[in-house]
Amino acid sequence: MATGPSKPERTPLQKRNRKVALIAAGGFVAMVGAAFASVPLYKAFCQVTGFDGTVRKAEAAPDKALDRKLTIRFDANIRELPWTFTAEQVTQEVKIGQTGLAFFKVTNNSDKPQTGRAIYNVVPESAGAYFQKLECFCFSDQTIPAKTTIEFPVVYFVDPKFADDFETKGKGEVTLSYTFFPSVEAARAEKRADATAAKHSSALGVPAKAGL
């Protein structure tokens, strides 16, 4: 019985090139996966460590305050939302380790409810590891009814270790900055609700709205 020509045996060089190609392909897949995971992982890392000026969430305030004051500045910004967002105080003076209370005001200028999420950071970045919050509107999405103004408190303190770190011990001023963006989670939930409504309408024989 005739058989087809046998495949030529790979040379050592061909085997090595194939191995390198497989390793490169595997590395590419890993890099793509890491790229998708990097955003939530980076955010979690920043919130735990205070890296990149990210403010940390604390469970309790320090037992004592130092006899040294810092000037805390407050900054408020809006991106892609029909809101007015302001800090009700420009600055505050607090002792290191002392609990501070600041207020921010948000007005929804539109004719329908809007949901936003505040992203925050601290300047200088080295202070991010020590500026911590006990209560903040930035920990979750905020839905503001139409033509409504809401006041939000922020309860914070600066960890006494701030005074010992060589990168921060000479600093006398810290800026806490917030920027409100449209909520990504709320937008996704709205799309899922629209898709579900369209599916149910089609199942009942009701034509779905254009664009769904």
Could you tell me which residues are beta bridge partners of residue 84? 107
For the CA atoms of 139, 141, 145, 149, the dihedral, rounded to the nearest 10 degrees, stands at: 30
SS3 29: helix
**Per-residue pLDDT tens over the stretch 131-162:** 999 999 988 899 999 999 999 999 999 999 99
Cis peptide before 124 (omega within 30 of 0): yes
**Comparing 9 with 38, which gets the higher pLDDT?**
9
Instruction: Choose between 62 and 70: higher pLDDT.
Output: 70
| Residues contacting 24, CB < 8 A, separation 6+ | none
Q: Give yes or no for a contact between 79 and 180, defined as CB atoms under 8 angstroms apart.
A: yes
Query: What single DSSP character describes residue 6?
Result: P
Measured distance CA(79)–CA(82) in Å, rounded:
9
Give the model's pLDDT for residue 9.
61
Q: Which CATH superfamily is domain 56-188 in?
A: Ctag/Cox11 (2.60.370.10)
CA 165 to chain centre: 26
Amino acid in the structure at residue 63: D
Residue 35 — φ and ψ, nearest 5°? -65, -40
Which of 107, 69, 105, 72 is CA-nearest to residue 87? 105
Of residues 41 and 129, the one with the higher pLDDT is: 129
Q: Is the pLDDT of residue 107 over 60?
A: yes
pTM (global) more than 0.85: no
For the chain, give the number of residues: 212
pLDDT tier for residue 44 given thresholds of 50, 70 and 90: very low
pLDDT the model gives residue 138 = 87
Helices (H), the chain: 12-49, 184-203
In this predicted structure, what is the pLDDT of residue 164?
Answer: 94
